[in-house]
Amino acid sequence: MNVANLARKVLNHTPIFILDVRNESDFNDWKIEGEKVSILNAPYFDLLDGVDEILDQIPDDQEVVVVCAKEGSSKFVAEQLVENGKQSISYLIGGMKSWSEHLEPVKIADLNDGGTLYQFVRLGKGCLSYMVISDGEAAVIDAVRMTEVFEDFAKENQAVIKHTLDTHLHADHISGGRQLAEKTGGSYWLPPKDATEVVFHYEKLEEHSQLVIGKTEINIQPIYSPGHTIGSTSLLIDNQYLLSGDILFVKSIGRPDLAGKAEDWVADLRTTLYERYKHLSDDLIVLPAHFGTIAELGDKGQVAARLGDLYKENPGLNIHDESAFRRTVSENLPPQPNAYQEIRQTNMGRISPTMEEQREMEIGPNRCAVHDDRSK
């Protein structure tokens, strides 16, 4: 089974059983999740002598997909299950590495002036990217390194990518924004306060600069919103949609420690969430750059929430004591993302890892939020 097929089944809430044969620590760190996903972890090395001990745990009334890190182990186990009479057995082509890289486009809305806003859901990593298309032009926000997906999607919609933007210097995944801009002849935008160490040319994404996509003048208005990083900049699209980057999520808020500046940036984070965002319309639809668990996905696979509702329901927006807020966002945080320092260096252009090295650097969950439900 390829990852696109599995992703559609997860998003469509099709009942499916996952047999994950990675070791227990890797499984506990990061796994395939879904509302109708059942999952069993049985390490490959425990199955080398046969699958007899797990046969009674493998259902006969639904599809079973065997998953490992890269593919080989899962194929071996799947063959063993079939030889033992099990039906509807598949293995995941490319394993969890391929699952980590798959992007599923979801239409968010038609915009007032005739454009369209799409969200690209990276189910296996929790990353969210965006594309605005209007009158034959497109802008991509928080692109991941698999840039062909955005190129192909723009081409399918008869659009040319004119701009790529990063809301901040990412620490959990490698940005594809600069590469995508170079391949399409577009402009790459990055907040200047996050770009003090970058070694390439970029356009300054800051307040009072307006990007217009297409002739229909869909404005993408930057809003300076530090806290996750010192340069974090949100985007207001069509006066309806707030692309919050890693500052505000559906179930949590951004962590301030991934550049080693937690104590310095706590006050910025609180000011952004409790003052800057508070002055915005409650009716704005928040579109973050990440999600923590599959439960944050809506019925069509989208990750979105009304800002006013988040001020009522999001625990990170309801810590009214300042000292309690400081403790929450600087102590007892979930583990930091894998290889986050190397990822930051890559996004600065200071190191150039191979494609396989980039894949290895990104393995695992994103962990950009203060609260990580999987770590509880």
Catalytic residues: 68
Beta strand extents in the chain (DSSP E only) = 16-20, 37-41, 63-67, 89-91, 104-110, 116-122, 127-134, 137-141, 160-165, 187-190, 203-204, 211-213, 218-224, 233-237, 241-245, 285-288, 305-306
Torsion over CA: 262, 265, 267, 271 (sign): negative
Helix (H, G, I), strand (E, B) or coil at 274: helix
237: which 2 tokens?
């699209």
The first and second tokens of residue 183, run together, are 């391949």
Dihedral angle at the C-alpha atoms of 41, 43, 49, 52, nearest 10 degrees?
-10
Residues 136/214, Cβ–Cβ less than 8 Å:
yes
Give the helix ranges, DSSP H, for 118-166: 148-156
Task: Show Cβ contacts of residue 274 under 8 Å, excluding neighbours closer than 6 positions.
Answer: 317
Q: Are 322 and 249 in contact (CB under 8 A)?
A: no
Alpha helices in the chain (DSSP H): 3-11, 24-29, 72-83, 95-101, 148-156, 177-184, 262-271, 307-313, 322-330, 340-347, 355-362
Give the strand pairing for 16-20 and 37-41.
parallel
Helix (H, G, I), strand (E, B) or coil at 3: helix
CB 76 within 8 A of CB 42: no
> What tokens were used for 64?
């079973």
